[in-house]
Amino acid sequence: MRDPPDASNSVDPFLRPLLDTWALYTQQWTGSASQAPGPSSPSDDPAEAWIESTGQMVDQYLRSPSFLQLFRLHIETLIALKSSAKPPAAPANESCDIDTVIARISEVEKRLTGLEQRIKRLEGPP
């Protein structure tokens, strides 16, 4: 049987600590599972041991320098985006007076009238 291809170079460096910890965890779990005679008390339950090991693995990954650097860069990017965003525009009702609104409505009516006349010309006589 062929060995799987070496994918160590294709892994994101921020995921490397998680993958290394997971590989170590599975090796330890396989070794201890083959040597263990079976649970003798509720505290020796394999499910509890798995939960404990998984918790330790996740804790190690979340405390790794790679993850912390990635998290810091993410937060800095969010802060930069927030600070570079334009302030919200003033609501339309504060920047317009009634005369401006009436003038704009008048312009729209004229444009609609012009469009109606063009449509009638294109349709031809009834």
Instruction: Count other C-beta atoms under 10 Å from residue 18's C-beta.
Output: 19
* Euclidean distance between CA atoms 64 and 17, whole angstroms: 7
Give me 86's structure tokens: 């334009």
pLDDT beyond 60 at 118:
yes
* SS3 of residue 1 by DSSP: coil
pLDDT beyond 80 at 103:
yes
Structure confidence by residue, pLDDT tens digits, 40-59? 555 568 888 888 888 888 88
pLDDT at 70: 85
The terminus-to-terminus CA distance of the chain in angstroms comes to: 84
Give me 45's structure tokens: 């339950």
Whose structure tokens read 């994101």?
A: 12
